[in-house]
Amino acid sequence: HALMIVFLISTLVLYIIVAMVSTKLTNKYILDSQEIEIIWTVLPAIILILIALPSLRILYLMDEINNPLLTIKAVGHQWYWSYEYTDYEDLGFDAYMIPTQNLVPGQFRLLEADHRMVIPVESPIRVLVSADDVLHSWAVPALGIKMDAVPGRLNQTAFIASRPGVFY
């Protein structure tokens, strides 16, 4: 569907360009059109405001309390992640990426890690992301999360995994 719309729009634009370039008309310079300029400046501004206000509301709604059952700290280093589960006991481990030459056939290049971060299913989880040396970013696209890891700063993100599996 998206490709159809792309073709539609590009055909329309190409047609308009060709029509503008190859016109036989000679009066091409119309100056001074205050009324329509005002209309097509103010109307999009109003539309954008109508879009922006609910969007900001949703943005702040997303930060509301979700009572996480588990808190995990993900700290970024050059070049591995270290995870700390400190709610009940002190548990911490490093997770390195498996280099391409050590992969078993069938594993995903640049995605596999030697120790995975394990989380309980169907539970709200809070992840506190930070970094040890330089800026990193902690992301799991399959869960729709990304949070920048800034040294000296704790960033929080929360999510619920609705089904069991391995998420990359």
Partner 1 sequence: MLHLIAARMGSLMARRAAVALTTSSARMASHGREVSETVDMSRPMYWDRLDTPLPDKAYKDELTAADKSLKQKEKGPWSQLTNEEKIALYRLMFNQTYPEMKQPRSEWKTIVGGIFIFMGFTGLVVWWQSLYVYPPRPRTFDDEWQAKQLQRILDMRMNPIEGFSSKWDYEKGQWK
Cα 3 to chain centroid distance, Å, stands at 23
Q: Does 108 bind partner 1 (CB under 8 A)?
A: yes
Whole-number minimum distance, CB 81 to partner 1, in Å?
21
Q: Does 102 bind partner 1 (CB under 8 A)?
A: no
Q: Taking CB under 8 A as the rule, which mask of x and - marks residues 10-49 in contact with partner 1?
A: ----------------xxxx--------------------
Q: In what order do the strands lie in the sheet with 124-131?
A: 91-95, 80-85, 70-77, 124-131, 155-160
Q: Of 88 and 163, which CB lies nearer to partner 1 in the complex structure?
A: 163
Contact between 75 and 85 (Cβ < 8 Å): no
Helix (H) / strand (E) containing 34: helix 34-61
Count how many residues are written for the chain. 168
Query: Which residues of this chain interact with partner 1, rule CB under 8 A?
Result: 26-29, 100, 103, 105-109, 142, 163, 165-166
